[in-house]
Amino acid sequence: MTEKWLIGVDLGGTTIKMAFINFYGEILHKWEIPTDVSNEGKNITTDIANSIDEKLSEVGKTKSQVLGIGIGAPGPVNLDNGNIYEAVNLGWKEEYPLKSLLESETTLPVVVDNDANCAALGEMWTGAGNGAGDIVCVTLGTGVGGGVITNGDIVHGKSGAAGEIGHITSIADGGAPCNCGKTGCLETIASATGIVRMAMEELKQSKLNGRLRSIFNEEGKVSAKDIFDAARDGDQLASTVVDKVAFHLGMALANIANTLNPEKIVLGGGVSRAGSILLDAVTENFQRFSFPRVAKSTEISIAILGNDAGVIGSAWLVKNRIAE
């Protein structure tokens, strides 16, 4: 059994990342294909099945080498049947039978979970979680995703919507509108989109000059990376934005930790590449708002698997749900 391969699939709105992974969580081969969202996303499972066939023959193996497929999808999952309730990015507007379609197209067993949950499982298995069984992962990308792991497994909740950390309300009265329909969600502040939005507001309201304003004047826009780079350089305007992000993120993480007291909170996604300028400021606010015993025992760190977390976590699902 342990010589068998696990297939991890990370299904995103623009690319589908796939990998053959061994029982120790090591990637043997990885590749990606574009996501075809035309025709209401109906080609996606066929594309995955064909791509796996091609890759297996390319490396001289057959399906008998494979134990099963784990797939992380960008939407809430019905765990009873492996359906995705909806995935707007993929064109799946109604409940979509991802597990059953992919099983019939590949003739392999399939396990489905949410993409943020898979990233969390990946970090738990071979990443920054370092084997910890109680971790919370927060993905700071275009949006803010979350995965909560307690006792070594994902918390799904009643309808698959547990871990929606991006939609913790950070600003109770007002705040910017969120894609979910509410306002003032953490995602409107701590995502790359939110950080840029706040910087644009600061640029408009403040008269301060500096590196960030120069970049804006030259390029007509700023990126989240520009903002962190400028803050690292001592730019006051950029530092104001980073302070706001760190305040709201640190407070949200403290509230999560006060509830769960995880061993680790892992920050991943593009924004987490800002590194210590973000981590130090978030940790400071986290310490301020967390219960003293939590502050001493819960550690915040940056994810280490990068884009591989999703495929590794999806493979973990195969190892732990199909192999047993």
Structure tokens at 195: 């950080």
Taking the least distance from each CB to Zn ion, the nearer of 103 and 115 is 115
Residue 206, number of CB atoms within 10 A of its CB: 13
Binding to Zn ion in span 156-175, by CB under 5 A = 167
Here's the x/- map for Zn ion, 122-161, by CB under 5 A: it reads as ----------------------------------------
Q: Residue 84 pairs with which residues in a beta bridge?
A: 77, 96
Taking the least distance from each CB to Zn ion, the nearer of 166 and 250 is 166
> Who's near 228: CB < 8 A, 6+ residues apart?
238, 242, 274, 277, 278
Residue 131 C-beta: closest distance to Zn ion, Å: 32
Provide the CA 7 distance to its chain's centre, in angstroms.
19
Residue 252 C-beta: closest distance to Zn ion, Å: 12
> Who's near 158: CB < 8 A, 6+ residues apart?
none
Number of residues near Zn ion (by CB under 5 A): 5
Taking the least distance from each CB to Zn ion, the nearer of 47 and 86 is 86
> Who's near 106: CB < 8 A, 6+ residues apart?
48, 49, 52, 63, 69
Residue 304 C-beta: closest distance to Zn ion, Å: 28
Taking the least distance from each CB to Zn ion, the nearer of 68 and 194 is 194
Residue 176 C-beta: closest distance to Zn ion, Å: 10
Taking the least distance from each CB to Zn ion, the nearer of 168 and 196 is 168
Angle at 72 between CA 262 and CA 165, to 5 degrees: 40
Question: Cα separations (Å) of 5 from 37, 52, 70, 313?
Answer: 28, 12, 11, 14
- Judged by CB under 5 A, the stretch of 49-57, 86-94, 183-191, 250-258 that binds Zn ion is 183-191
Binding to Zn ion in span 184-223, by CB under 5 A = 185
What sign results for the dihedral spanned by CA atoms 318, 320, 323, 324? negative
Residue 127 C-beta: closest distance to Zn ion, Å: 26
Q: Which of 28, 88, 161, 180 binds Zn ion (CB under 5 A)?
A: 180
Q: Strands 153-154, 144-150: parallel, antiparallel or unpaired by DSSP?
A: antiparallel
Question: Cα separations (Å) of 62 from 58, 95, 115?
Answer: 10, 32, 27
Taking the least distance from each CB to Zn ion, the nearer of 56 and 252 is 252
Structure tokens at 72: 């992380």
Residue 259 C-beta: closest distance to Zn ion, Å: 19
Residue 85 C-beta: closest distance to Zn ion, Å: 16
Q: Which of 178, 190, 251, 252 binds Zn ion (CB under 5 A)?
A: 178
- Judged by CB under 5 A, the stretch of 179-187, 197-205, 254-262, 303-311 that binds Zn ion is 179-187
Taking the least distance from each CB to Zn ion, the nearer of 109 and 175 is 175
Rounded Cα gap, residues 21 and 69, in angstroms: 10
Three-class secondary structure of residue 144 per DSSP:
strand
Taking the least distance from each CB to Zn ion, the nearer of 93 and 182 is 182
Residue 182 C-beta: closest distance to Zn ion, Å: 5
- Contacts to Zn ion by CB under 5 A: 167, 178, 180, 182, 185
